[in-house]
Amino acid sequence: MDWQTTTDAVPAAIVPDARTVSLAARAPVTGAWREGDPVGDRRFVGIGDVELESGRTLPGTRIAYESWGELSPAGDNAVLVLHALTGDSHVVGPAGPAHASPGWWPGVVGPGLAIDTDRWFVVAPNVLGGCQGSTGPSSFAPDGSEWGSRFPFLTIRDQVRAQLAFARELGIERFAAVVGGSMGAMHVLEWAIMAPEAVERIAVLAAPPATTADQIALNSVQIEAVRSDPAFRDGDFYDAPPGDGPARGLALARRMAMLNYRTSAELNARFERGWQSEIDPLGGGGRFAVESYLDFHGNRFTRRFDANSYVVLTEAMNSHDLARGRGGVAAALRQVTAKSLVLGIDSDRYFPLAGQVELAAGLPNSVHGAGPVVVASEYGHDAFLIEHGAVGAAITELLAS
Phi-psi region at 55: left, alpha or beta (left = phi > 0; alpha = psi -120 to 50): left
Question: Is 348 one of the annotated active-site residues of the chain?
Answer: yes
Asked if residue 11 has pLDDT above 60, the reply is no
Asked if residue 7 has pLDDT above 60, the reply is no
Mean pLDDT to the nearest integer, 253-260: 94
What is residue 285's predicted lDDT score, i.e. its pLDDT?
Answer: 67
What is residue 9's predicted lDDT score, i.e. its pLDDT?
Answer: 37
Q: What is the pTM of this model?
A: 0.93
Question: Is 381 one of the annotated active-site residues of the chain?
Answer: yes
Question: Could you confirm whether domain 5-400 is CATH 3.40.50.1820?
Answer: yes
Question: Is 8 one of the annotated active-site residues of the chain?
Answer: no
- Mind listing the pLDDT tens digit for each residue in 49-76? 999 999 999 999 999 999 999 999 999 9
Query: Could you tell me which of 71, 48, 66 has the C-alpha nearest to residue 164?
Result: 48
Sign of CA dihedral 23, 25, 26, 32: positive
Please answer whether residues 186 and 207 qualify as being in contact, where contact means their C-beta atoms are separated by less than 8 angstroms: yes
Mean pLDDT to the nearest integer, 102-109: 97
Would you list which residues are annotated within the binding site for substrate? 254, 382
Mean pLDDT to the nearest integer, 134-140: 98
Please answer whether residues 246 and 237 qualify as being in contact, where contact means their C-beta atoms are separated by less than 8 angstroms: yes
Please answer whether residues 214 and 318 qualify as being in contact, where contact means their C-beta atoms are separated by less than 8 angstroms: no
What is residue 280's predicted lDDT score, i.e. its pLDDT?
Answer: 65
- Mind listing the pLDDT tens digit for each residue in 178-203? 999 999 999 999 999 999 999 999 99
Would you list which residues are annotated within the binding site? 254, 382
Report the Cα 326 to chain-centroid distance in Å: 26
Mean pLDDT to the nearest integer, 82-99: 97
For residue 345, the surrounding DSSP H or E stretch is: strand 339-345
What is residue 3's predicted lDDT score, i.e. its pLDDT?
Answer: 39
Query: Could you tell me which of 27, 20, 121, 108 has the C-alpha nearest to residue 80?
Result: 121
Point out the catalytic residue in the list 67, 134, 182, 319.
182
> What gap in Å lies between CA 316 and CA 236, rounded to an integer?
20
Asked if residue 215 has pLDDT above 80, the reply is yes
- Mind listing the pLDDT tens digit for each residue in 323-342? 999 999 999 999 999 999 99
> What gap in Å lies between CA 288 and CA 179, rounded to an integer?
38
Between these two residues, 79 and 5, which has the higher pLDDT value?
79
208-217, 258-267, 350-359: least confident range: 258-267
Asked if residue 161 has pLDDT above 70, the reply is yes
Sign of CA dihedral 382, 383, 387, 392: negative
Point out the catalytic residue in the list 89, 292, 348, 366.
348
The ranges assigned to domains in the chain are 5-400
- Mind listing the pLDDT tens digit for each residue in 12-25? 333 334 444 444 45
Point out the catalytic residue in the list 83, 99, 187, 381.
381
| Type of residue found at 378 | E
- Mind listing the pLDDT tens digit for each residue in 264-316? 888 888 888 877 766 666 766 677 888 888 888 898 999 999 999 999 999 99
